[in-house]
């Protein structure tokens, strides 16, 4: 059985009750450039500047100072680096670690073979709609696939422009597949199925909702013999009519009579 190893970064960090702090990004910057970026923040605030290339995060206190050695006295903004609390330092570095984990970037995408409940029988059609089978899949994913758990747990510590996201294409025994993802920006506790990401063993899109634009399907060639009937049932659920469970190729669209499918090749 194939199972994605869980990637764990650092320590588990407790949630902080303090207000969220800005976490800005200045990748491959000099220390002076990081300090200049910190100075873009309002006085009497703290800000963190991250660098995924050099793999560091600096913390600054920003304030206004006065130079009394000139007349009239000159006011200027200062950004002083300080050693951040351990929980903030670890949480900030979890972003850096996430970015640098393979494949590098703010979005992680991998293919995983499903070996959870019902894995010897279930296919993508079973999990495209909310159902106990879909819940089994999402619960299994939460236990067996995770890049960003630590980042999610600590979103409340920072306000930041990056959106770490993990996405997995789940492959079933017959070759059908569907994509699930967790977007840290939305602080999802569980993964969600990406709409219209399902593909059956004939490589047809498994629609999650009806479309107003034309879409084609073909069951000609090798594949799971159950695909035509499962496709017809899903399309009926979405409000389409005219389908047959006997295979062939189909064109489906919206017309004056509603959503309808017609066969184009047997």
Tens of pLDDT along 185-242?
655 556 899 999 999 999 999 999 999 999 999 999 999 999 999 999 999 999 999 9
Ramachandran category for residue 229: left, alpha or beta (phi over 0 → left; psi -120 to 50 → alpha): alpha
Rounded distance, CA 233 to CA 47, Å?
54
pLDDT at 144: 79
By the 10 Å C-beta count (0-12 exposed, 13-18 middle, 19+ buried), 3 is classed as: middle
DSSP helix, strand, coil percent of the chain (3-state; round to 5) = 25, 30, 45
Query: Which residue has better confidence, 187 or 180?
Result: 180
pLDDT at 186: 55
- Average pLDDT rounded to a whole number, residues 83-88: 93
Place of tokens 């490589």: 203
Q: Is the pLDDT of residue 16 over 90?
A: no
By the 10 Å C-beta count (0-12 exposed, 13-18 middle, 19+ buried), 124 is classed as: buried
pLDDT at 6: 28
By the 10 Å C-beta count (0-12 exposed, 13-18 middle, 19+ buried), 206 is classed as: buried
Confidence band of 85 (pLDDT split at 50, 70, 90): very high
* Closest C-alpha among 108, 94, 92, 132 to residue 182: 108
Kindly report which listed range (131-135, 145-149, 252-256) carries the lowest average pLDDT score.
Answer: 145-149
* Closest C-alpha among 17, 4, 12, 50 to residue 150: 12
Neighbours of 11 (CB within 10 A): 12
Q: Which helix (H) or strand (E) covers residue 100, if one does?
A: helix 86-100
pLDDT at 196: 96
């Amino acid at each position: 059985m194939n199972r994605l190893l869980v990637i764990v970064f650092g320590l588990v960090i407790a949630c902080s009750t303090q207000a969220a702090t800005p976490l800005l990004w200045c990748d491959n910057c000099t220390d002076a450039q990081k300090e200049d970026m910190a100075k873009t923040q309002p006085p009497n605030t703290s800000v963190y500047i991250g660098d995924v290339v050099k793999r560091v995060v600096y913390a600054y206190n920003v304030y206004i100072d006065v130079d009394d050695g000139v007349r009239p006295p000159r006011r200027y903004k200062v950004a002083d680096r300080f050693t951040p609390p351990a929980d903030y330092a670890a949480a900030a570095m979890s972003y850096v670690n996430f970015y640098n984990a393979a494949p590098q970037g703010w979005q992680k995408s991998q293919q995983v073979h499903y070996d959870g409940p019902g894995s010897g029988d279930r296919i993508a059609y079973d999990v495209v709609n909310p159902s106990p089978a879909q819940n089994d899949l999402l619960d299994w994913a939460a236990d067996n696939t995770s890049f960003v758990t630590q980042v999610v747990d600590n979103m409340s510590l920072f306000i930041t422009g990056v959106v770490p996201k993990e996405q997995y294409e789940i492959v079933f025994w017959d070759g059908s597949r569907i994509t699930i993802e967790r977007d840290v920006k939305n602080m999802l506790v569980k993964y969600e199925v990406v709409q219209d990401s399902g593909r059956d063993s004939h490589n047809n899109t498994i629609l999650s909702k009806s479309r107003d634009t034309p879409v084609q399907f073909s069951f000609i060639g090798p594949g799971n013999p159950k695909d035509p009937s499962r496709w017809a049932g899903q399309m009926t659920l979405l409000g389409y009519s005219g389908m047959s469970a006997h295979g062939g190729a189909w064109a489906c669209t919206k017309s004056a009579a509603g959503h309808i499918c017609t066969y184009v090749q047997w």
